[in-house]
Amino acid sequence: MVENVKELLKLHEGITHEVYLDNENSSVIPQEIVDEMLPYFNKKAYGNPTLTHKPGWEAFEVIMNCFQTISKSIGAKNLEDITFTPGETEANNLAIMGSCFARKSMGKKIVISEIEPINVLQVAEMMQKFGFTIQKISVNPDGFINLEKLKEAVDNETVLVSVSSVNNEIGTVQPIKEAVDIVKAKNPQTLFHTDASDAYGRIPLNVQDLNIDLATLSSYKILGPRGMGAMYLRDGVNMERILEGQIGTQKLWPGVENTPLIVGFTKACELAFQNFEANVAKMRSLRDKLVDGIFTELDDLRFNGPKGNQRAPDNANVSILRAEGEALTIELSLKGVYVSSGSACSRRLLQPSHVLVAIGRRFSEAHGSILMKTTRYQSEQDIDYVLSVLPPSVNRIRGIVGSTGVD
Amino acid sequence: MSRIPLPYNPKVMDLFRNPKNLGKMDDATVVAVAGNPACGDMITFYLKITDKDVIERASFESYGCAANIATSSIVTEMIKGLSLEQAWLDVTWKKVTEEIGGLPSVKFHCGVLAVGALKRAIRQYFKQKGALIPSWMPAENTFEEKQALEEEELAKLLSKRLKTEEKAEK
């Protein structure tokens, strides 16, 4: 298997230009963020922040500053409202399991949207093992949650509602404020959680203005290091730990704080919010150039998700009909363009992206979908390169398909 | 979203990049399709068969992943010049997988589908000809043909479910 990968990588030798658009699944960490992290591995603050010696106090000081920066970036009241976790997956697990376990005597119903990311969807589904029921709220063809159905769904038994602020696959910016108001009007005891991983650094987000109880943040989705994320918990909301072990600076997540990664996440946050408007404008203009170019060069396409301001500025999701997504990701990779696909083709279960299916895309449209996200570190030349490579790649794959893939 | 690592071997990659026997065949004796675009997995085989029941030429089209393209292509290579009996008996999905240098286990079904399409083509040929079913061909569908059917049924079910849901929404 490893030998195969070596050979696969050899096929990429001679690539002249690389553009990483798979920012949904990982990201290139900018050098300035790497530089910020490096001293914390072995030059300073390498101690455990809860211990009584210089390296420990150094770690304590820097971590407290990080709590401060991250909590301020989302308008949280206290720095204690933030819990650093090893990623957004863990933050979503903590938010859902921790809040439901703490409320199991109050009710057993969880309400989520049907287009939640896997690490919300599967955690909520897992809670059925503990006697909870879930209700999934449908979305319209642009991915907007049906607020009427949300209102109907929330009852006295509902302990938690979880709706992402921005959908990770199709970029839909949900009307979170309205959703929170609807939920709280129906049942003030119901907690509202939002996975804000794809909203953070892209749309304004203030947890107090929105009246949110729990939120999930991701480090790599704002170009910080992987293996780091955070959960926001409103002051005074009761919560249970889901892991046990040595407690350090934070009550809800045991273990030794990972100072370099926390520093990297915080630096990424500072950079994202330092020139927020300009950063967003850059992502948006590159994304628009990319999408416009694709639609100019190719036909038989579907644009997935909403257009305009109700879409995240970095997200492009296009179904390329008469082409299969996995084949396309490989073809593009060989030319230095890295994207992901909503195709099911690595699974016998034949399940394409549940998000694309939920917005009414045919399976064949989901199989031909590619997901791309731009960053402010990319250039117009990068997008030009993608646009020079994509049409011939699509045409070659369509050439193999011939008349076979038309349903 | 697909999340399973797929370290394709060089032979698969080579056939993905430079597929052999690709494309529609205008003078094909028999054409057979297996799979469904809803499954992200579909193959068309074109066979030119001689009067003596020998496969003179074979070509394919494929809507699917790299493994689907490569297995379809290798099958067209493997059956060239074989009698229909040899093709039926010798070209198993395991042999196809071997011939291609192995596949990740989640991709075994690509080989199965390719052989299913081949067997369908051969069965179709005898039906078209109005000839008696040869003794080496079982009356019942083989494992590979059943798998192809199962996949197509599943696709139908899935799209039926989608349509029902659409109606329910309205």
Tell me, what's the pLDDT at A407? Answer: 59
Task: Report the DSSP pairing between strands A315-320 and A369-373.
Answer: antiparallel
Nearest chain A residue to B5, by CA: A346
Indicate the range of A30-34, A256-260, B25-29, B165-169 predicted with least confidence. Answer: B165-169
Residue A82 near residue A71, CB atoms below 8 Å: yes
Chain A environment of B31 (Cβ under 8 Å): none
Distance from CA of A51 to the nearest CA of B (A): 40
Closest to B58 in 3D by CA, of B20, B97, B12: B20
As a whole number, mean pLDDT of residues B96-123 equals 92
A66 labelled catalytic: no
Chain B environment of A343 (Cβ under 8 Å): 2, 40, 65
Tell me, what's the pLDDT at A372? Answer: 98
| The pair of three-digit structure tokens given for residue A229, joined into one six-digit string | 């994320």
Tell me, what's the pLDDT at B163? Answer: 58
Distance from CA of A18 to the nearest CA of B (A): 20
pLDDT at B2 over 50: no
Q: What pLDDT digit, counting tens, does each position of A246-259 carry?
A: 999 999 999 999 99
Q: Do B42 and A405 touch (CB under 8 A)?
A: yes
Proportion of chain B above pLDDT 90, given as a percent: 69
Q: Helix B10-17 and helix A2-10: axis angle, to 10°?
A: 40
pLDDT at B160 over 90: no
Furthest-apart CA atoms within chain B: distance in Å: 57
Q: How confident is the model at residue A275 (pLDDT cuts 50, 70, 90)?
A: very high
Nearest chain A residue to B20, by CA: A400
Size of interface A-B (CB pairs under 8 A): 129
CATH code of residue B134: 3.90.1010.10
| The pair of three-digit structure tokens given for residue A326, joined into one six-digit string | 């996995």
- Chain A residues within 8 Å of chain B (Cβ atoms): 1-2, 4-5, 7-8, 11, 118, 138, 169, 322, 324-327, 330, 334, 340-348, 350, 352-353, 357, 360, 362-364, 367, 399-407
Tell me, what's the pLDDT at B70? Answer: 96
Mutation target for A interface from B11, B63, B170: give the one with most A CBs within 10 A: B63
pLDDT at B4 over 70: no
Question: For B39, which of A325, A350, A402 is closest by C-beta distance?
Answer: A350
Q: Do B1 and A364 touch (CB under 8 A)?
A: no
Q: What pLDDT digit, counting tens, does each position of B128-155 carry?
A: 999 888 999 999 999 899 988 888 888 7
Q: How confident is the model at residue A37 (pLDDT cuts 50, 70, 90)?
A: very high
Proportion of chain A above pLDDT 70, given as a percent: 97
Nearest chain A residue to B152, by CA: A350
Whether residue B55 lies inside any domain: the answer is yes
pLDDT at B1 over 60: no
CA distances from A125 to A96, A109, A213 (A): 11, 11, 21
Q: Do B24 and A402 touch (CB under 8 A)?
A: yes
Question: For B1, which of A322, A324, A342 is closest by C-beta distance?
Answer: A342
Residue A302 exposed, middle or buried by CB count within 10 Å (0-12, 13-18, 19+): middle
- The residues, any chain, with a CB within 8 Å of residue B30's CB and separated by 6 or more, are B46, B47, B49, B121, B122, B124, B125, B128
Q: Which domain holds residue B148?
A: 10-169
Q: What pLDDT digit, counting tens, does each position of A322-374 carry?
A: 999 999 999 999 999 999 998 765 444 557 889 999 999 988 888 899 999 99
Question: For A343, which of B16, B24, B40 is closest by C-beta distance?
Answer: B40
Tell me, what's the pLDDT at B6? Answer: 78
As a whole number, mean pLDDT of residues A124-153 equals 98
As a whole number, mean pLDDT of residues A23-44 equals 97
CA distances from A183 to A46, A96, A138, A322, A352 (A): 44, 16, 16, 42, 31
Tell me, what's the pLDDT at A340? Answer: 92
Cα–Cα distance measured from residue B96 to residue B148, given in angstroms and rounded to the nearest whole number: 16
Chain A environment of B63 (Cβ under 8 Å): 322, 324, 401, 404-405
Q: How confident is the model at residue B107 (pLDDT cuts 50, 70, 90)?
A: confident
Which has more pLDDT, B170 or A85? A85
Tell me, what's the pLDDT at A345? Answer: 59
Instruction: Go through the domains of chain A in sequence order and give each one's CATH number.
Output: 2-29+277-401 (3.90.1150.10), 38-274 (3.40.640.10)
B65 labelled catalytic: no
As a whole number, mean pLDDT of residues A276-300 equals 98
User: In the β-sheet with B55-63, what is the strand arrangement from edge to edge?
Assistant: B30-36, B41-49, B55-63
Whether residue B125 lies inside any domain: the answer is yes
Question: For B9, which of A7, A138, A401 is closest by C-beta distance?
Answer: A7
**What average pLDDT does chain A have?**
95
Nearest chain B residue to A9, by CA: B7
Model pTM greater than 0.80? yes
Q: Do A326 and B62 touch (CB under 8 A)?
A: no
Whether residue B3 lies inside any domain: the answer is no
Tell me, what's the pLDDT at B3? Answer: 53
Whether residue B2 lies inside any domain: the answer is no
Cα–Cα distance measured from residue A114 to residue B165, given in angstroms and rounded to the nearest whole number: 13
CA distances from B27 to B17, B53, B120, B126 (A): 26, 16, 18, 17
pLDDT at B51 over 70: yes
Distance from CA of B106 to the nearest CA of A (A): 6
pLDDT at B42 over 80: yes
Chain A environment of B64 (Cβ under 8 Å): 324, 327, 345
Indicate the range of A61-75, A365-379, B150-164 predicted with least confidence. Answer: B150-164
As a whole number, mean pLDDT of residues B22-32 equals 96
Nearest chain B residue to A344, by CA: B2
Q: Do B154 and A348 touch (CB under 8 A)?
A: no
Q: What pLDDT digit, counting tens, does each position of A84-98 carry?
A: 999 999 999 999 999
Question: For B66, which of A5, A326, A407 is closest by C-beta distance?
Answer: A326
Tell me, what's the pLDDT at A306? Answer: 98
Question: For B66, which of A327, A350, A364 is closest by C-beta distance?
Answer: A327
Whether residue B1 lies inside any domain: the answer is no
Whether residue B4 lies inside any domain: the answer is no
Closest to A349 in 3D by CA, of B154, B111, B159: B154
Q: How confident is the model at residue B106 (pLDDT cuts 50, 70, 90)?
A: confident
Give the count of domains, chain B. Answer: 1
Distance from CA of B135 to the nearest CA of A (A): 32
